[in-house]
A and B are shown apart, each in its own frame.
Chain A
Amino acid sequence: EAQVTQNPRYLITVTGKKLTVTCSQNMNHEYMSWYRQDPGLGLRQIYYSMNVEVTDKGDVPEGYKVSRKEKRNFPLILESPSPNQTSLYFCASSLGEPHEQYFGPGTRLTVT
């Protein structure tokens, strides 16, 4: 089954404790992206990647890191989480050109 998976689905952590949210897709998509969703703000792009080893900042990259060492995986790293990073995070993948994005199930992160 073609899908985008994320782990964990729920995470409660404390300020400053490094964490990684994994994202994997099995559709051989070149393009992957991370978004955060906050009430009244829609989906805001954090980082995106056009292919292996090619990443770029979206609108809200501060406090986040990403890597794309393999085509199927695109982890999101929070080196020192802060409470303002409490949010619902979605990973998405797509064919190379602007095209339909397939979203993962979401990761609800709470930073206390």
Chain B
Amino acid sequence: GENVEQHPSTLSVQEGDSAVIKCTYSDSASNYFPWYKQELGKRPQLIIDIRSNVGEKKDQRIAVTLNKTAKHFSLHITETQPEDSAVYFCAASKRTGGFKTIFGAGTRLFVKA
């Protein structure tokens, strides 16, 4: 069935370093790829998204890249800070009479001060 694989499951970086999280999706009909951040005990919140007609998008320290041919997309966080510590989820969505969304299993990011 359709799925989204996310790697790594855990990532530990030093403050100021970069962090990269990668996702692969299986359904070529997917056309919207959001990234959500979930802090401990909180709800997921969107941090950045990209649509299938765009290859890269950047918002300050956060960027997302999309390779439709390979069905890969990645989240890049530069100059990491302790407050970036959280669980990050990628997702792939498609509109086919509905709005089906498949999430990756999540990456727990630790930023050490």
B31 to chain A, nearest CB (A): 7
User: Is there an interface contact between B6 and A42, defined as CB atoms closer than 8 Å?
Assistant: yes
Evaluate contact between B102 and A59: CB separation under 8 angstroms: yes
Contact across chains for A50 and B43 when beta carbons are under 8 A apart: no
Interface residue tally for chain A (C-beta within 8 Å): 26
Ordered by A's residue number, 24 sampled pairs between the chains whose C-beta atoms are within 8 Å are A40-B9, A42-B103, A42-B105, A43-B103, A45-B101, A45-B102, A45-B103, A48-B98, A48-B99, A48-B101, A50-B98, A56-B98, A58-B101, A90-B43, A96-B99, A97-B95, A97-B99, A98-B32, A98-B93, A98-B95, A99-B32, A100-B46, A100-B49, A103-B45
- A residues with a Cβ closer than 8 A to B are 31, 33, 35, 40-45, 48, 50, 56, 58-59, 90, 94, 96-101, 103-106
